[in-house]
Structure 1
Amino acid sequence: MMKFLFFLIFMIPLCFKKNMFWMVQMMLFLMMSFFMNLNINIMNYCNLSYMFGCDMVSFGFIMLSIWICSLMLMASEKLYKYNFFLKFFLLNIIFLLIMLYMTFSVMNLFMFYLFFEGSLIPTLMLIIGWGYQPERIQAGLYLLFYTLFVSLPLLLGIFYIFNEMNCMMIYFLKFYDYNMYLLYLSMILAFLVKMPMYFVHLWLPKAHVEAPVSGSMILAGIMLKLGGYGLFRVLIFMQTISLKLNFLWIIISLVGGFYISLKCLCQIDMKSLIAYSSVAHMGMVIGGIMTMNYWGYLGSYLLMIGHGLCSSGMFCLANINYERLQSRSLFLNKGMMNFMPSLSLWWFLLLSAAMAAPPSMNLLGEISLINSLISWSWLTMIMLMLISFFSAAYSLYLYSFTQHGKYNMGLYSFSVGLSREYLLLLLHWLPLNILILKIDYFMIWL
């Protein structure tokens, strides 16, 4: 696992050389191909080196991180055209990828905390440095304070565990079972805010709306998944107390998912609609993890990977429209089918994946989550039906509003999609629908 870290660290000088924008992206794709061909022992931690390790869950998330980061560069071609602090932008993305790579591959609980919080800094830089409106400072502060407010208890909880056990290796912690209310709350809240759970989700739409397209992609693609990954690792050594208290989080996230789905139907900003839909999806993921059963575990892992690709792709689409019209308002982005008929297909494909239509990974993830939640309690069926129905409703609302209708007469000059944009969307959509063929990696052996 160390070799990939060195690969990333030695890419840093590339950022400062002239005309190296696409070279950095090619190197990330190269790293992706190396990482995919890694021999991975699916049942266990493997590729151990210097407290770095990899099991099936971290393997999937690291792969998603590298993929989304390389696509972020492809989406940010505008920065390259205007040479807007380009070298710093590249450095920021490489630094972010290093942080994410370390978060998913370290085996030490404290190091995991360190990089989990460290990934916040480059994201903040992206929002404040390359965002669009002056409100981006406020959005950055929201992101910072929501996340840091609950991460101090997590740090104290980790220190307590170390004090008790003199060991912080995540792999060894699974043989323990802590039955303590305060420890449980302090270990879990940080991840629930990061996911984000309903009630503590307010930083997410703000951050998304103000972030540049690369910031939105990384937020939707990876940042929301850090919380789920943390819950996977932490709930293992708090099983007794989890079985007592988890019903709280399941209720909040399912009812919250339904409320947020209704909220989506009121949005008039494309980006904020996609951001709120992420909260609804993550609500189901939290519900699945908290049932503490095998189906929930598999379904939440699958849905997180699927949602990462699909949501990131939808932010790219919203950005393509924004670059043409200089507006994200649904009232101005109407009748796009007349201007960019080819993009209508991509809107359709990605939105159908968002509402879990076959053959996307989201479908299998949602089926597993529904399976796990209904086996936990049949009453969850009501909320699940509503969430699934409204998920389709706001997807169709977004599609019909942007693609159909009478277009704005103020649009006098226009360029249709570029080949770079079509490639970008294809690279989001293809893994989302092709990985269903190798679903045994995600379902059976996890």
Structure 2
Amino acid sequence: MNSLGFPILSLMLAIPMAAAVACLYVNAQNARMLALVATLVDLALGVVLWINFDASPLGPQWQFTEYQPIFGRFAWALGIDGIALMLIMLTLFLMPICILASWEAIEKRVPEYMAAFLFMEVLMIGVFTAQDLFLFYIFFEAGLIPMYLIIGIWGGKDRIYASYKFFLYTLLGSVLMLIAMLWMAREADTTFIPALMNYDFPVEAQTLLWLAFFASFAVKMPMWPVHTWLPDAHVQAPTAGSVILAGVLLKMGGYGFIRFSLPMFPEASAELIWVIFGLSMIAVVYTSLVALVQQDMKKLIAYSSVAHMAIVTIGLFAFNRQGLEGAMIVMLSHGLVSGALFLCVGVIYDRLHTREIGRYGGLSINMPKYALFFMLFTMASVGLPGTSGFVGEFLSLAGTYQVSSWVTLVCTTGIILGAAYMLYLYRRVAFGELDKDDVRAMPDLSHREMWLMAPIAAVVLWMGVYPESFMAPMRRDIGTLLARIERAKPVGDAQFAMGKPQVKAEAHGEAH
């Protein structure tokens, strides 16, 4: 169904693609303006998309669909549901901010840099809109190329090592997924993702298929122990590269679990739930402890990202509405908050050219606007009520509790440890004595930097105060997914479910 009467999704892909090509033929300043205008136009189209999306219970699941056969089973098939809509909006919202963040920080090969970012926007939107199995794979894998170039050309002194590590980890993880896709297309005789989501694959084959997809999505999330590429990539990437890497690229793994692993292989998802829970518990505790001892601000935030994404994975595999809705809100919130924290690091790095925490201190005295925004994003990362961080984590852990109280207990320690390392970071950067001359000379936020911070701060508070506006478009689609995986739902160990105490089976012969 396309209620607008024109192919808006193809247009959203075509605009940044055309702008990326045009950037290569203009000078640096014109490339900056062209990239900013293209991303703002795409954001405006995204707002049109959201306004016209039918989120009513009786509305169609797949909307703004386009289908054009190319050859054989391969087709240009696009369409979105509420889950894809929210992740597309996150992408469109962060892209103009990334362009503005690079306005002065990037001075060499500016047209190529802007073209790489615009090309990456095309591929990220493509991942969330693709409805053909192999079209999804092309977008999913091609997203590696611009990020590889952004880290390798415009990154720090160890950029070559970090870019190769990023590329090899994510590419090798996807080889098994491609093999699984070929088998699935032959077995189901279709490459149409909505049809595959309702196809019952043989139970004996589901485990191998699930593991093949898991190999790719676990690296993208990234889950422990295949997370080691992330801190290196973040440390070496330019500020805007870190923002889009943490903000959107990590979410592709979670989107993959929702779109493929859970609906297509529900029995295998239930059977292997211990793998997800076990790795997530280790990730929350281990990476939080590692974050506590970091001296590099970017590394600290990168390790915190691994811990937060572990909260996403336990919520996704809780097999209930609270867990799934919570996981989606955590993904959206983390995309905003982690992106904002990397922007905060970039602001002071541009002034002092160091990310070492010990070099700062007392910034609340000479940079009060900066300290205020930094505090808001720190509180959101910790999960303070009233911010976006609280809503998602609470729902995700509440959903997980219905499946395993022990997993919930261990993962809740991540909130405590998260408060420890984030507040420790903020104290060392914003408070204390302002006793270094170069730090004392640092000016507060410029107008351009205010335009980077203020929109994210507004959405973080909006999501924290009124999360329903973000949950409403996804609610029907999460219900559809729950109906699909209900048959494989594991038995939980919690004594309370949906607010009602469960009577022990020994006493009454059955649980009520």
* TM-score normalized by the length of structure 2: 0.84
Return 349-358 or 155-164, whichever deviates more. 349-358
CA distance in 1, matches of 2:124, 2:242: 16
Counterpart CA distance in 2 for 1:296 and 1:169 is 27
Name 1:77's counterpart in structure 2.
103
Question: How far has the Cα of 1:330 moved from its partner?
Answer: 0.7
Does 2:466 match 1:442?
A: no
Instruction: Tell me the distance in 2 between the aligned counterparts of 1:263 and 1:13.
Output: 42
For 2:191 and 2:381, how far apart are their aligned partners in 1? 38
Q: Does 1:37 align with 2:63?
A: no
Q: Is the contact made by 1:177 and 1:239 (CA closer than 8 Å) also made in structure 2?
A: no
Q: Say whether 1:156 aligns with 2:204.
A: no
The aligned counterpart of 2:213 is: 187
Other structure's SS at 2:182 match = helix
Superposed displacement of residue 66, structure 1: 1.5
For 2:293 and 2:144, how far apart are their aligned partners in 1?
30
- What does residue 7 of structure 1 align with? 15
1:209 CA drift (Å) = 0.3
Structure 2 counterparts to residues 395-414 of structure 1, below 5 A: 395-411=422-438, 413-414=441-442
1:61-103, Cα deviation, whole Å (9 max, x unpaired): 11111211111111112246x4x21110111111000111111
2:147 alignment counterpart: 123
Corresponding position of 2:266: 239
Contact 1:194 1:224 in 2 (8 A): yes
The answer to whether the 8 Å contact 2:35/2:118 transfers is: no
Query: How much does 1:437 deviate?
Result: 2.5
Does the CA contact (< 8 Å) of 2:367 and 2:442 recur in 1? no
AA matched with 1:432: V
Which structure: larger Rg? 2
Q: Could you say which residue in structure 2 is the equivalent of 1:380?
A: 407
Q: Which amino acid aligns with 1:429?
A: A
| Amino-acid identity (%) | 29
Alignment correspondent of 2:313: 286
Whether the 8 Å CA contact 1:79–1:86 is kept in 2: the answer is: no
Partner SS state of residue 79, structure 2: strand
Partner Cα separation in structure 1 for residue 34 and residue 112 of structure 2: 15
Q: For each residue in 1:406-439, what CA deviation from the matched residue of structure 2 results, as whole angstroms up to 9, or x when unmatched? A: 2352417432221111110112211122244252
Paired AA for residue 341 in structure 1:
P
Call closer, same or farther: CA 1:157–1:13 in 2, change over 3 Å: closer
Aligned-residue RMSD, C-alpha: 1.6
Q: Which amino acid aligns with 1:40?
A: F
- Aligned pairs for 1:327-338 within 5 A: 327-338=354-365
SS in 2 for 1:397: helix
Write the letter of the residue equivalent to 2:294.
Answer: Q
SS of 1:41's equivalent? coil
Q: Matched residues in 2 for 1:99 and 1:316: separation?
A: 23
CA–CA separation in structure 1 for the residues paired with 2:442 and 2:426: 20
Q: Which runs of no fewer than 5 residues in structure 1 stay unpaired?
A: none
Deviations 1:209-245 (A, max 9, x none): 0100011011100010010001111121100111111
Tell me, yes or no, if the aligned pair for 1:41 and 1:55 is still in contact at 8 Å. Answer: no
Runs of 4+ in 1 over 3 A off after TM superposition: 443-446
Q: Is the 8 A contact 2:19 2:34 kept in 1?
A: no
Structure 1 residues 15-71: Cα deviation after superposition (integer angstroms, max 9, x where no partner): 233432134313322321222122113351100013110111111111111211111
Equivalent in 87, 95, 110 of residue 86 of structure 1: 110
Is 1:17 aligned to residue 26 of structure 2?
Answer: yes
Aligned amino acid, residue 439 of structure 1:
E
What are the superposed Cα offsets for residues 316-343 of structure 1, whole Å, 9 maximum, x if unpaired?
0001111111110011022212221221
Counterpart residue number, 1:348: 375
Q: Aligned partner of 1:10: which letter?
A: A
Quote the Cα distance in structure 2 between the aligned partners of 1:405 and 1:336. 8
- Offset at 1:14? 4.0
2:123–2:140 contact (8 Å) kept in structure 1: yes
Query: Which moves more between the two structures, 354-363 or 299-308?
Result: 354-363
Deviation per CA, 1:241-267: give whole Å up to 9, x if none.
Answer: 111111221121122211111111101
Distance across 1 between alignment mates of 2:196 and 2:343: 40
Task: Report the secondary structure of 1:177's partner residue.
Answer: coil
> In structure 2, how many angstroms separate the alpha carbons of the residues matched to 1:242 and 1:96?
31
Shift of 1:389: 0.8
- Give the alignment partner of residue 330 of structure 2, picking from 303, 308, 319: 303
Report the residue type matching 1:437 in the other structure. Y
Q: Which amino acid aligns with 1:156?
A: I
Which runs of structure 2 are paired with 1:421-436 in the superposition (5 Å)? 421-435=449-463, 436=465
* Alignment-mate amino acid for residue 333 of structure 2: G
Choose which of 11, 28, 41 in structure 1 pairs with 2:39: 28
Alignment size in residue pairs: 443
Instruction: Quote the Cα distance in structure 1 between the aligned partners of 2:48 and 2:386.
Output: 25
Structure-to-structure mapping, 1:130-209, within 5 angstroms: 130-133=154-157, 135-178=158-201, 179=203, 180=205, 181-209=207-235
Partner Cα separation in structure 2 for residue 413 and residue 391 of structure 1: 31
Q: CA deviation at 1:138?
A: 0.7
Asked if 2 retains the 8 angstrom alpha-carbon contact of 1:257 and 1:283, the reply is yes
Contact 1:261 1:391 in 2 (8 A): yes
The correspondence for 1:275, drawn from 302, 306, 323, is 302
d(CA) in 1 for partners of 2:160 and 2:357? 25
Query: How far off is 1:113 after superposition?
Result: 1.2
